[in-house]
A and B are shown apart, each in its own frame.
Chain A
Amino acid sequence: MLKCYLLNGEFKEIEMEGFDRIAESIAENRAILENMPLTAIVELLHQLGKSIIRDKELAGLDGASYISIWLRRDNLERICRLNFGDNTFADQFADGGIGFSMMAQPRGIVCHWVASNVPTLSFFSLVMGILTKNGNILKVSEENRNTLTALLRGLSNVKVEIGSKEYLGRDIVRAISVVSFDSRESAIGEAFSMVADCKVIWGGADSVKAITALPQKETCEIIPFGPKYSFGVFDRGSVENNEFRSNLRKVLRDVLLFNQMACSSPQVLFFEKSSKSLKDIAQIMKEEFEALPSKLLERPIPQHVASRIITTRGMYLLSDNKEVVQPQGLDWTILISRDPGLEDPVHGGCIFVKEVDSINDVVPFVTRKIQAIVLCTTTEQSRIEFARLATRRGADRIVLPGTAHDFTLPWDGIMAINRLVRWVILYSEKNDGGSNAAG
């Protein structure tokens, strides 16, 4: 049994046995989306972004202001351009430059398996599916579905006029369905996989392996956003300069957002040896944690995370050669260790801090599992040098403090929009090697 919360543009909860009705509805409705120019889709999403901050319900959602900014026209166009090269390809056959024209055709129905650790994740995943004019079915957790359906209700109410033609957000929403079902129900999982022309998987190792292994169409594309680990690095100059405190504050926001459970959440901060000891740094961190908004500090913490925090604090309190800086409650925890290397994540605002002789000593810790490295350096040259080494070993993103969670493409090393389309070519009889567009 699966629960469907959105079908054919209607937001109501329906229990279903399988995906036939959903797939049929989306296949039919996505024809309008396919014929919609990319500029109209971008404009509708841009208008949604603007309406989010005006709408009381939407503005109250976690991450609402970030979504609003992310949906700005110039950002969406930039994302598309980065993936398509030329956004014209999304609408028509256009000059490929080597004797034929090309077009980015949607794959069909994109099925998204979305992990529940980041409530807004489903929306970002969906927007990539919309920008590529695919039909979309999203499997979301029951606890996060309200965030997504609230945003889609908002999109339903948006309309724009381009030239003399009116475009409706509702037409996009009609090509989307939101479902939830128990992952242990293998028959439903298999049916979901079978309707997919593309599977977008956000989750831990077990989920990615299991969903990848489900039966699927031979032509199905799989885009896995699997488990990743993130950390931060400060070079000596950045520890000693005047921006240190402000950069730390931004990193600490990165730490606390999403309860530190996102793949982009820093778990360890490495500081190059400087005039400030780790204890000095921990003291500044303490002050900055305490100054953060109460909404960030007083977030709910799941039981198993709370239990891990308590145990880890105990380990650090009882051990020799380890220190802990903590408030009475579980708002945040600073764990000072002299053990080299990364640490298993505790989550829930527990940040390990370590000292290294040189930031390059951190590079050997980088593997293909590393997603974001929040890097603070004083010179662009050392930044580029570190980035070159770290990304060669496997890191996906070298970011600035406060931007660890910014959803930019590539993500996890993947240009997802590019993979959500089929690149098709058209040889034209008129041109035998020329560069004119055929469309």
Chain B
Amino acid sequence: MITNRPISDLKLEDLLQLPQYSLDDDEKNEVLLKLIMEQLPKAMANPHIKNLFVKQGIDIEKIERLEDVPFIPVQMFKHFDLSTNPDEKIARVIKSSGTTSGTQSIIPISKETAANQMKGLKSILENYLGQRRRVMITIDHKGINDPKKEITARGAGVRGFSIFAKEIIYVLKEYSNGELVLDMPVIERLQKEYSDKDAYAFGFTYIIWKTFCKQMHDRGLKLKFNDTIVFHGGGWKKLTAEKVSKEEFSRTVAEVLDTQPGKVHDFYGMAEQTGIIFVDCERGNKHVPNFSQVIVRDMRTLEPCKVGEKGLIEVMGALSNSYYSYAILTEDIGHLEGMDGCPCGRRGRYFRFDSRVERAELRGCGDTFRE
């Protein structure tokens, strides 16, 4: 018991207010199952979700473990409206990048869900940043967060991470052909006026590497702040193809931003689970916050894997009441490193991301489409 109340009495609000990573795995399973079970009958208002349950003969009352909550493959957000609220309650719609298939995921967000997601992200980041606000160095261009434009996953990321920002500074600019380049007047201003300030940097992994680090290196530039913490996520596939390791990435970024590699945190997350990110601790393990759970499923049997076994990452979350986010099976492969025992002191499950599902296909004589 980490509060003066029994675990079974905890509400989502409590999980968001508690210090993150404070629940043991068993405790979390208990409280999260209860919270998700409360949401499932409402989710049945969506005809597609109802189909999912009915066709599999799933009786909500009989679900006893988180593993038994039916998952939806992440691709379903590209094909179905998974809203569990009436249209008038949807405040905005997030669209995923759709870089692999070209089709975007559509994620309907209600005001309540947006508020939960914001609180969730804040409580996660607080664990790494403390409670003080800092200067936010956004390694992207300003247009990515233009309120007049459609919200993309990149834009949503910037907005989410800005919770702790005293001031948001975009260090890149975008040419009309879409090319991203260093915004030199901004870089020069940062060099002159911000060296005594605490900062945190945020950006997408491949933009940080391919654009920011490369152009800073080519120009022999560095940025120095009093204390800098870096968060980056997404786009590892492109860097893996270039054979850039996580260690090399962290070392290079730390050099450019004059910080320690241990303060460069990779995080794993997805637009379909906004508000829930899994940030690396200093041991390189990704930790699962109190209001989420991660199940790694065997790619052949779809049964939960044991610690160390690789499989598909399923992300469970209790933040949304506007779409089915309770169990999403990703196309990412990872493995659990352990439960409750990370030397960094964070409780709950911790895992590693290994790769995206291979897309390379056998080009055999049966490799054809219908005509």
Please encode chain A, from 325 to 348, with 1 for each CB lying within 8 Å of some chain B CB and 0 for all others. Answer: 000111000000000011111010
Q: Does A306 contact B (CB under 8 A)?
A: yes
In the bound complex, CA of A225 to CA of B363 (Å): 12
B299 proximity list for chain A (CB < 8 A):
301, 303, 306, 330
One of A16-24, A152-160, A311-319 contacting the partner:
A311-319
Interface centre among A306, A313, A345, by most B CB within 10 Å? A306
Contact B55 A304 (CB under 8 A): no
Contact stretch, chosen from A115-123, A185-193, A234-242, A415-423: A115-123
- Report whether A329 and B366 are in contact in the complex, using a CB–CB cutoff of 8 Å: no
Our pick among A206, A227, A319 for the contact of B48 (Cβ within 8 Å) is: A319
Residues of chain B within 8 A (CB-CB) of A267 are: 370
User: In whole angstroms, what is the CA distance A298 to B300 when docked?
Assistant: 9
Q: Which of B257-310 contact A (CB under 8 A)?
A: 298-303
Q: Which of B71-79, B114-122, B150-158, B343-351 contacts A (4 or more CB under 8 A)?
A: B71-79
Closest to B80 in A: A318
Do most interface residues of chain B lie in helix, strand or loop, or is the interface mixed? loop
A393 to B72 alpha-carbon distance, docked (Å): 40
- Residues of A in contact, count (CB < 8 Å): 57
User: With the chains together, A60 CA to B234 CA distance in Å?
Assistant: 44
Point out the residues of chain A lying under 8 angstroms from B365, CB to CB: 115, 117-118, 121, 202-204, 225-228, 262-263
Q: Is A214 an interface residue (CB 8 A)?
A: no
Q: Would A323 and B370 count as touching, CB distance under 8 A? A: no
For A370, the closest partner residue in chain B by CB is B371
Residues of B within 8 A of A68 (CB): none
Q: For B329, list chain A residues within 8 Å (CB).
A: 310
> How close is B356's CB to chain A, nearest CB, in angstroms?
9
Chain A residues with Cβ below 8 Å from B359 are: 304
Q: Is the CB of A301 within 8 A of B363?
A: no
Give Cα A369 to B367, complex, Å: 11
Task: Give B56's nearest chain A residue, CB to CB.
Answer: A317
Complex Cα gap A319–B46 (Å): 11
Give the contact-size bracket for chain B: 35 or more
CA distance A311 to B312 in the complex (A): 13
Cβ of B340 under 8 Å from chain A: no
CB-based contact B51/A314 at 8 Å: no
How far is the CB of A372 from the nearest CB of chain B, in Å?
A: 11
Nearest CB to that of B49 among chain A residues? A318
Asked if A216 CB lies within 8 Å of chain B CBs, one says: no
> Known contacts A306-B299, A307-B331, A319-B48; is A345 also within 8 Å of B357 by CB?
no
Residue contact B300 to A207, C-beta cutoff 8 Å: no
Q: Which B residues touch A260, using CB under 8 A?
A: 366
B241 close to A (CB within 8 Å): no
In the complex, A132 has a CB within 8 A of chain B: no
CB neighbours of B367 from chain A (8 A): 115, 117, 203-205, 227, 261
* With A229-B368, A314-B75 already in contact, 4 other A-B pairs whose C-beta atoms are closer than 8 Å: A262-B365, A303-B333, A303-B357, A306-B357
B residues in contact (CB < 8 Å) with A: 47-49, 51-52, 55-56, 72-73, 75-76, 79-80, 298-303, 312, 329, 331, 333, 357-371
Q: Can you name 30 A-B pairs with beta carbons within 8 Å?
A: A115-B362, A116-B362, A116-B364, A117-B364, A117-B367, A204-B363, A204-B368, A226-B365, A227-B365, A227-B366, A230-B366, A262-B366, A264-B366, A300-B300, A302-B358, A302-B362, A303-B299, A304-B359, A306-B299, A307-B357, A310-B302, A310-B329, A311-B76, A314-B72, A314-B76, A315-B79, A317-B56, A318-B76, A345-B366, A369-B370
